Amino acid sequence: MSAEPARSIGFALGRTVITRGALGALEGEDVHASIARHASGDWGDVCPEDRQANDDALRVGARLLSVYHTDSGRKFWIITEADRSATTVLLPEEY
């Protein structure tokens, strides 16, 4: 799935954190670039239903989930809480 162009959507990330597993498995450059994509509304490799759920969540204040892959194929998620208090970078198995 190709990346969407960046768009200005305006939601707060809150406190940005990374789990221990993601910290050990991911390169900082991948994490920073993906957080920027997430913040711009590029939800990465989510299915169409999750893409729509994120777009709806922007209107109603629900949780946001993005899915990204490193160049080596390692999958990771970025989740922004519904109250926008925190955004977490994590590996799927840490959920």
Query: What average pLDDT is seen over the chain?
Result: 92
DSSP labels for the chain? -PPPPP--------EEEE-HHHHHHS-HHHHHHHHHHHHTT--BS--HHHHHHHHHHHHHT--EEEEEE-TT--EEEEEE-TTSSEEEEE-GGG-
pTM for the structure as a whole: 0.89
The domain limits of the chain are 15-94
What are the tens digits of pLDDT across the range 45-58?
999 999 999 999 99
The span from the CA of 67 to the CA of 71, in Å, is: 13
Of 9-13, 21-25, 45-49, 86-90, the least confident: 9-13
| pLDDT for 62 beyond 80 | yes
